[in-house]
Amino acid sequence: MTRNLLTGSATFVIGLLLWLFTGDIEIPVVTLTKAGVVLMVIGAAEVGYGLYRAVRGPRPARR
Residue-by-residue DSSP string for 28-40: SS--HHHHHHHHH
Cβ atoms of 5 and 58 within 8 Å: the answer is no
Alpha carbons 54 and 63: distance in angstroms, whole number: 23
Q: What percent of the chain has pLDDT over 90?
A: 57
pLDDT in tens, 22-47: 988 888 888 899 999 999 999 999 99
pLDDT at residue 45 in the model: 96
**Within a 13 Å sphere around the CA of 36, how many CA atoms are in the beta-carbon half?**
15
